[in-house]
Structure 1
């Protein structure tokens, strides 16, 4: 009889989308005036409740796009081909509401983003993509 321990099951990813809200050197600060930065984060957390994970993160190194929000797919969304979507210049409450509605509906891979969010989508550097695309 073997006394080896079983290997842990491989990580299958998160069961819900993750919304990462940059709150580093430029995003979420007075450098972007006339924006309720705390209100953005609070609105996402309130709107998404248990349907998505919302987290404030340090600088995502895309300061020219401040305020930056990244919507990462759930495990199911990733299996369906979804990849993280980077959104920049998210400086109005309507965009935040659109992001929340999309993430609540399933996010990348499971639900198409509202067309208006195409105006906010950008491609970060390959280094940044690799960091969040795991």
Structure 2
């Protein structure tokens, strides 16, 4: 019996949804829709507080296996509070994400380096 080829591990997305992210503290955002839209395109993990509330809503794009092999590292995105930013993230993840596809210039507006305690 032949074993099917393994599927490559895609980029994964961590969505913060706790004390500030995903709550009415960030008004005008359909948090459930944002999470669902991301999950349509990549594996998504909903996290408790990531400890960087000043950047709510926080999304972390983790590299795929190929991206890690190419030196890709997790990319932290903050203030992701509009559908266009969510779509830009989806486009990047579909293209391969960190280490495989360059981060779109528009997402530079959202990237930040988390403090050591948050990593």
TM-score, normalised via structure 1 length:
0.80
Q: 1:104-123 counterparts in 2 under 5 A? A: 104-123=94-113
Q: Which of the residues 91, 114, 127 maps onto 2:117?
A: 127
Output the CA distance in 1 between the equivalents of 2:51 and 2:109. 20
> What does residue 12 of structure 2 align with?
18
Q: 1:1-134 counterparts in 2 under 5 A? A: 15-46=9-40, 48=41, 52-129=42-119
Deviation of 1:36 (Å): 0.7
Output the CA distance in 2 between the equivalents of 1:94 and 1:113. 15
Deviation of 1:127 (Å): 2.6
User: Unaligned regions of 5+ residues in structure 1, if any?
Assistant: 1-13, 130-134
> What does residue 4 of structure 1 align with?
none
TM-score, normalised via structure 2 length:
0.90
Deviation of 1:75 (Å): 1.4
Q: Which runs of 4+ in 1 moved over 6 A?
A: none
